[in-house]
């Protein structure tokens, strides 16, 4: 009898905590408890490892969480207009297929034994018909996402025996 057994690649860093430049392989809208969301999957990762972003609305009623996903992924942006107050209004096609093949910077973190993707991304460096993101802009949005993680996500994370042990082993 013959059998094959595949070992995971060592040293690729595919699951390490921190920032990863990822390419979107698929996206799909859904609803949970009357809240709309979009699930996003990435090339090179299994289907059970995805990022979910729920709609969030500002004081003016405009949705911004999923909008920022499309903005930072440089996806579906078709035009820009100037509002009466001088602000730039982006016109975009927010069909999930617009995200396929687009690159984003995503933050991985451990929650218990599992790696998760933060629901706030950062752009890569690019220029489109509306705006341009350079290295300084990318660093700014990464920092903003990390602050969100440290202030709102990290305090609510699972504390397991494994994470407690790791913390207690630090020699200082």
Chain segment 44-94, per-residue pLDDT in tens: 999 999 999 999 999 999 999 999 999 999 999 999 888 889 889 999 999
Confirm whether 127 is domain-assigned: yes
75 within domain boundaries: yes
Q: Please give the DSSP secondary-structure letter assigned to residue 78.
A: E
> Quick check: is 130 in a domain?
yes
Domain around 48: 18-158
pTM of the predicted model, to two decimals? 0.82
Q: What pLDDT is recorded for position 8?
A: 55
Answer yes or no: is 168 within a domain. no
In a domain, 93, yes or no: yes
- pLDDT at position 83 is 86
Q: Is residue 76 part of a domain?
A: yes
**Residue-level pLDDT at 157:** 87
In angstroms, the first-to-last Cα distance of the chain is 54
Is residue 47 situated within a structural domain? Answer: yes
Which single residue is written with the structure tokens 């350079």?
134
**For position 9, what pLDDT does the model report?**
55
Strands (E), the chain: 18-32, 35-42, 50-54, 77-82, 88-92, 103-111, 114-117, 126-127, 132-133
> Are the CB atoms for 54 and 36 separated by under 8 Å?
yes
Work out how many domains the chain is built from and give that number.
1
Whole-number pLDDT of residue 127: 96
pLDDT tens for the chain, 172 residues: list them: 778 776 555 545 788 999 999 999 999 999 999 999 999 999 999 999 999 999 999 999 999 999 999 999 999 999 988 888 988 999 999 999 999 999 999 999 999 889 999 999 999 999 999 999 999 999 999 999 999 999 999 999 866 544 444 444 554 4
In a domain, 102, yes or no: yes
| Secondary structure letter of residue 9 according to DSSP | P
């Amino acid at each position: 009898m013959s059998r094959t057994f595949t070992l995971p690649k060592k040293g690729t860093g595919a699951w390490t905590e921190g920032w990863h430049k990822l390419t979107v392989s698929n996206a799909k809208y859904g609803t949970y408890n009357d809240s709309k969301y979009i699930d996003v999957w990435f090339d090179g990762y299994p289907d059970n490892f995805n990022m979910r972003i729920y709609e969030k609305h500002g004081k003016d009623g405009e949705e911004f969480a999923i909008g920022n996903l499309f903005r930072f992924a440089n996806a579906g942006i078709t035009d820009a207009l100037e509002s009466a107050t001088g602000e730039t209004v982006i016109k975009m096609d927010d069909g999930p297929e617009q995200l396929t093949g687009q690159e984003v910077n995503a933050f991985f973190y451990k929650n218990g034994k599992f790696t998760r993707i933060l629901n706030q991304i950062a752009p890569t460096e690019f220029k489109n018909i509306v705006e341009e993101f350079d290295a300084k802009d990318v660093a700014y949005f990464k920092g903003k996402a990390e602050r969100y993680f440290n202030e709102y996500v990290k305090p609510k994370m699972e504390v397991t025996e494994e994470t407690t042990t790791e913390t207690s082993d630090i020699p200082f």
